[in-house]
């Protein structure tokens, strides 16, 4: 049996996915994307899912990009099909109804950065390196980078990165809002444990609605987005979580979601 390209570890509904192609610094080829999509299909069917963490195998790289060897000889049509496969897979990761967090443990370049951008937030080890170096290969980002990067860090910084192809370190990534936290690689494990406990304990309906309000609202004008928020806020009162959460507060106990 061939080795798995995506390792899956489940801790009480918080699932850690590890992209495992360390000899190619976890570069994304169509086999990795296919396996990731199969895993996502399984995750979408679960109602006990509380969070997804995604990382790369080894201590050197999160994902060093789309696989350059696989791409070199593609025709435009084949390149389009490859980009579409990746966009579809990344979108499915992005729209999981739970927080999706990138644990960026090293190189996070090209398609790797685009994968991290589709996560709700990202935490980086202090040796992480980010960039959209596609222009240095004679192409542009094709896994969503020209669209998600400006939405995350603003158009000027996105244009700086996608037109120069320059790499930035973890602290610059933090400063521009590409990642939320930076920590020594040795502390990532502790963070995962703490975060997993937190995600496993929160009410899934409220978390799902909060995520949907932010994501869907970002694509709408302010008034429509505020109306969406109101709908999702009111919807929260239809389920059991709101009664339990508010009762627990008033009774000075921990909620049991
Ligand atoms: C295929 C890759 C790869 C990639 C690294 N490798 N990145 N293979 N695709 N994206 C392979 C190398 O060929 C090498 O294989 C092995 O991984 C180790 O890499 P080295 O270069 O020897 O390591 P190092 O000197 O430490 O340099 C690390 C690095 C460099 C700075 C990350 O590998 C690098 O620049 N990689 C390419 C980064 C990049 O341009 N990414 C964007 C890709 S385009 P061997 O067999 O020699 O040991 C992209 C487009 C997305 O993502 C949209 C498409 C539609």
> Nearest C-alpha to atom 53 of ligand 1 is from which residue?
142
Q: Nearest Cα to 4, choosing from 15, 18, 14, 16?
A: 18
> Nearest C-alpha to atom 38 of ligand 1 is from which residue?
64
What ipTM was assigned to the predicted interfaces of this complex? 0.98
- Alpha-carbon Rg for the chain, nearest whole angstrom, is 19
Name the residue of 25, 110, 112, 141 to mutate for ligand 1: max ligand atoms within 8 A of Cβ. Answer: 25
Return the SS3 of 12. coil
Within a 10 A sphere around the Cβ of 217, how many other Cβ atoms? 17
Q: Nearest Cα to 169, choosing from 116, 102, 104?
A: 104
> Nearest C-alpha to atom 4 of ligand 1 is from which residue?
67
pTM attached to this predicted model: 0.97
CA 100 – CA 248 distance, rounded (Å): 27
Q: How far is the CA of 59 from the centre of ligand 1 (A)?
A: 15
> Nearest C-alpha to atom 6 of ligand 1 is from which residue?
24
> Nearest C-alpha to atom 29 of ligand 1 is from which residue?
64
How distant, in Å, are the alpha carbons of 72, 116, 172, 186 from that of 192?
36, 16, 22, 11
Residues contacting ligand 1 via CB (< 6 Å): 24-25, 27, 64-69, 82-83, 107, 109-111, 133-134, 137, 141-143
Q: How far is the CA of 26 from the centre of ligand 1 (A)?
A: 9
- Residue whose tokens read 């978390």: 207
Q: How far is the CA of 24 from the centre of ligand 1 (A)?
A: 7
Catalytically active residues are 114, 134
Within a 10 A sphere around the Cβ of 81, how many other Cβ atoms? 13
Number of the ligand 1 atom closest to the C-alpha atom of 143 = 53
CB 118 within 8 A of CB 96: no
What domains sit in the chain, N to C, each tagged with a CATH number? 6-199 (3.90.226.10), 203-250 (1.10.12.10)
Return the SS3 of 102. strand
Q: How far is the CA of 156 from the centre of ligand 1 (A)?
A: 26
Residue 2: the pLDDT is 66
User: How do the pLDDT tens digits run along the chain, 257 residues long?
Assistant: 568 999 999 999 999 999 999 999 999 999 999 999 999 999 999 999 999 999 999 999 999 999 999 999 999 999 999 999 999 999 999 999 999 999 999 999 999 999 999 999 999 999 999 999 999 999 999 999 999 999 999 999 999 999 999 999 999 999 999 999 999 999 998 999 999 999 988 999 999 999 999 999 999 999 999 999 999 999 999 988 999 999 999 999 999 99
Angle of helix 76-94 versus helix 30-44 axis, rounded to 10: 30
């Amino acid at each position: 049996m061939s080795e798995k390209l995506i390792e899956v570890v489940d801790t009480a509904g918080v699932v850690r996915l590890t992209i495992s192609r360390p000899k190619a610094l976890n570069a994304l080829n169509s086999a990795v994307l296919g396996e990731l999509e199969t895993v996502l299909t399984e995750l979408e069917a679960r109602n006990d899912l509380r969070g997804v963490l995604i990382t790369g195998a080894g201590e050197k790289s999160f994902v060093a990009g789309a696989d350059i060897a696989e791409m070199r000889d593609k025709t435009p049509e084949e390149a389009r099909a490859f980009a579409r496969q990746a966009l579809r897979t990344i979108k499915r990761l992005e729209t999981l109804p739970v927080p999706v967090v990138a644990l960026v443990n090293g190189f996070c370049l090209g398609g790797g950065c685009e994968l991290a951008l589709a996560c709700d937030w990202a935490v980086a080890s202090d040796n992480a390196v980010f960039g959209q170096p596609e222009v240095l290969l004679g192409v542009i980002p094709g896994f969503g980078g020209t669209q998600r990067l400006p939405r995350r860090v603003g158009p000027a910084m996105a244009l700086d990165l996608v037109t120069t192809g320059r790499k930035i370190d973890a602290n610059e990534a933090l400063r521009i809002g590409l990642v939320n936290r930076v920590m020594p690689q040795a502390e990532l494990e502790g963070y995962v444990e703490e975060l997993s406990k937190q995600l496993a304990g929160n009410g899934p309906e409220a978390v799902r609605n909060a995520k949907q309000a932010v994501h869907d609202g970002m694509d709408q004008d302010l008034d429509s987005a505020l109306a969406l928020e109101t709908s999702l806020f009111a919807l929260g009162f239809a389920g059991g979580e709101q009664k339990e959460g508010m009762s627990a507060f008033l009774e000075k106990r921990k909620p049991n979601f």
